[in-house]
Amino acid sequence: MTGKPNQDSWSSFHLPWADGLIVSDGLGSKENSDFGSLSACRAVEDVVRARHRSVRAVSTRELLPSFHEQWRIRLGPVDPADAGATCLFALRVGDGMMRLGLLGDGCVVVVEEGGDIHSLAPDKEESFSNMTTALSARTQPSDWQTVDVPESRCAAVVLCTDGVSDDIEDLRGFVTRMIDAFGGLARVTASRAVRDMLMAWPVPKHSDDLTIAGLVRTVVEDD
């Protein structure tokens, strides 16, 4: 325990025409990073809700400036330099695609039907380990990683902050086991099970906040 507020945030929304999941990790060196991460999650949700079905008409990359602008609006008088945060999202907006994005550390994992997985993650071999790309006053669309995956191929999408992803050596095995264990549970039950897993995280003296969230696709047969 460090006595600092939780700097991770997450948000989900479910609309008749869209679903979304957002995870954010505030930079520990920033005074208002907890507010920055909360604002990041709310900003993505704000944009999707406000643009309604017209969000389908633009590419994922074209949405990124709107996410950044809304984050700045959400911050209000708080200086963006004091509120840096990563941002990971998975969006289903009814166009047949899962829209995925990552800015900074953490991991976005797609579990395909059949068990194959694909992920978005930072290339830490090409950067300084103590430097994290994050939302700031100067964030550009080129700072993000994005990918669109056909919704029909997605069994699940998992988002996690680096407090989780940096400790996982076998990403495929971890995500597959987690989906198998929790994917069929009711939402509240699954949330409690994931919380218990994170509370018992097997890394001694771990100081990072831990956040993991997922969307699981279910097919309902017509009567």
pLDDT digits 0-9 by tens, 55-104: 999 999 999 999 999 999 999 999 999 999 999 999 999 999 999 999 99
Comparing 1 with 197, the larger pLDDT belongs to 197
Return d(Cα 55, Cα 73) in angstroms, integer: 20
Element (H, E) at 163: helix 162-165
Task: Output the pLDDT for position 18.
Answer: 92
Per-residue pLDDT tens digits for 26-56: 988 899 999 999 999 999 999 999 988 889 9
Mean predicted confidence (pLDDT) in 178-199: 83
Query: In the chain, what are the domains?
Result: 8-216 (3.60.40.10)
Residue 222's pLDDT band, with cuts at 50, 70 and 90, is: low
User: Could you tell me how many residues make up the chain?
Assistant: 223
> Which positions ≥6 away from 186 have C-beta within 8 Å?
none
pLDDT in tens, 107-160: 999 988 887 888 898 876 554 444 568 999 999 999 999 999 999 999 899 999
